[in-house]
């Protein structure tokens, strides 16, 4: 089955700097890769996703890149703000009813 690894487990950046979180997956059949942000005591919220027919996707300060050959995808946050502080989970999913497999999460702290 699918296995998703995520690095780093914790990340501290200064406000205004960029943050990058990387995930690798094992199942070459996976074709959908969402990223979720979970603030303390809250539910996971989708922030961006990418499908396997796309190499990069941007939404304001957030971007995701996908390298299908190497089976890894990354979340990029530019101009970080204190409200970006949260746990970020990547996930991978293949077709035909297979479940989302989540990475172990990255705790991002943006220092003012």
Partner 1 sequence: DTEVTQTPKHLVMGMTNKKSLKCEQHMGHRAMYWYKQKAKKPPELMFVYSYEKLSINESVPSRFSPECPNSSLLNLHLHALQPEDSALYLCASSQEVRTGGNTIYFGEGSWLTVV
Give contact residues for partner 1 (rule: CB under 8 A). 31-32, 34, 36, 42-46, 49, 51, 87, 89, 93-100, 102-105
CB of 105 to partner 1, least distance (A): 6
Choice between 73 and 105, CB closer to partner 1:
105
Q: Which residue has the tokens 């990069």?
A: 56
Q: How far is CA 3 from the centre of its chain?
A: 15
* Short-list 44, 23, 39, 7, CA closest to 91: 23
Cβ neighbours, 10 Å, residue 65: 17
- Shortest distance in whole angstroms from residue 48 CB to partner 1: 10
Q: How far apart are CA 104 and CA 55, in angstroms?
A: 23
CB atoms within 10 A of CB 36: 21
84 vs 93 by CB, closer to partner 1: 93
User: Which CB atom, from 16 or from 46, has the smaller least distance to partner 1?
Assistant: 46
Q: Minimum distance between the CB of residue 38 and partner 1, rounded to whole angstroms?
A: 9
Minimum CB separation from partner 1 for residue 47, in Å?
11
């Amino acid at each position: 089955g699918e296995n998703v690894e995520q690095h780093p487990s914790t990340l501290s950046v200064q406000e205004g700097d960029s943050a990058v979180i990387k995930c690798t997956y094992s199942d070459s059949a996976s074709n959908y890769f969402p990223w979720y942000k979970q603030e303390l005591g809250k539910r996971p919220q989708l922030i961006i996703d990418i499908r396997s027919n796309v190499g990069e996707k941007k939404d304001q300060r957030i971007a995701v890149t996908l390298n299908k050959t190497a089976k890894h995808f990354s979340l990029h946050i530019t101009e970080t703000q204190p409200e970006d502080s949260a746990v970020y989970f990547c996930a991978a999913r293949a077709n035909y009813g297979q479940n989302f497999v989540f990475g172990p999460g990255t705790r991002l702290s943006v220092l003012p």
